[in-house]
Structure 1
């Protein structure tokens, strides 16, 4: 897929993520946002905090990579490395397979407030801005370190797509938690 189409699709997805998070979670009370299906599962805010932790790493890395990457044609096709394909498969929102996260990225049992949602929405604005800036650079340049092992680098396009797919995956998780939190509790007598 050529660069401009690729980035437009990612921008549309990020805008949808931002809109969904805002309209689905902003009206909710903090108690609902902290509801957990079970002690080891994540609440809505924990899902968003997990994404915030990744954004705190990847957004500055993406910004730096975009600033340092040579200008390129918007008609150039986006290519994938084996590492990029593997990373995208891991976070694909269509995959039912669960994966453990790194301890430092796991917000389980955190005391969270609606500031988490505010930060998440700000990250979406930053990501939209970066996607706009990426239109003029070579998305096939290996420029973005992998968070858990920074000697490995993703191509710029792969890293952008990774962030978006990861957000979609955990937004779906947060929406499922919200749905369960909104269901009436039935007592068995």
Structure 2
């Protein structure tokens, strides 16, 4: 069973990974794509930014509306939550198509994408702390692409963190491919 503390630790680790692994890269490296169909590091992060723009405010409302003292701090899962978590689990190597408006492919992106990601991570960290005083099993978060379906607060928090972990791992693989690609003339560290 996942706890808010575990999600908070993972979220902090993701922030550190972004700072440590990507902040020194130049724009060519950040926009490197192993294949024309794959995402660059910045596209991976922009995809997560788009999800955060929807889910962070939805979570903030749900947590505020369900912090009436009847807090339930253990996360239980609905069928929708289990299915959603199985899809985004970092260990799930199966590729999944994203909805069109969440697909950042071929976007023009810069360093502001990283700054926005880190800002969203700080917001999420605050939401994870605030959620300690709410009912995590309240169905209150409309699913972004089909708002008639709702996920529970706790499983949505876990979905967001796992989804981010999945795509940060994808971005790390892109960085590794950029470093080791034959004949690559990318300057991966600013100033080199």
Shorter-chain TM band: over 0.9
Aligned equivalent of 1:11:
8
Of 104, 108, 112, the match for 1:107: 104
Change (3 A) 1:134 1:116: same
Of 121, 128, 136, the match for 2:133: 136
1:39 match: secondary structure: coil
Deviation at 1:73, TM superposition (A): 4.1
1:163 match: secondary structure: helix
Residues 1:183 and 2:180 are matched in the alignment: yes
C-alpha distance in 2 between matches for 1:126 and 1:77: 21
1:175 match: secondary structure: helix
Matches within 5 A, 1:1-189: 1=1, 6-69=3-66, 70-73=68-71, 76-186=73-183
C-alpha distance in 2 between matches for 1:176 and 1:62: 30
2:3 match: secondary structure: helix
Change (3 A) 1:37 1:184: closer
2:124 match: secondary structure: helix
**Aligned length, in residue pairs:** 183
Structure 2 length-normalised TM: 0.92
C-alpha distance in 2 between matches for 1:61 and 1:54: 11
Contact 2:59 2:127 (C-alpha < 8 Å) held by counterparts: yes
C-alpha distance in 2 between matches for 1:77 and 1:92: 19
Task: Mark the runs of 5 or more structure 2 residues left unpaired by the alignment.
Answer: 185-192
Deviation at 1:71, TM superposition (A): 2.6
Please report the RMSD computed on the Cα atoms of aligned residues, expressed in angstroms. Answer: 1.4
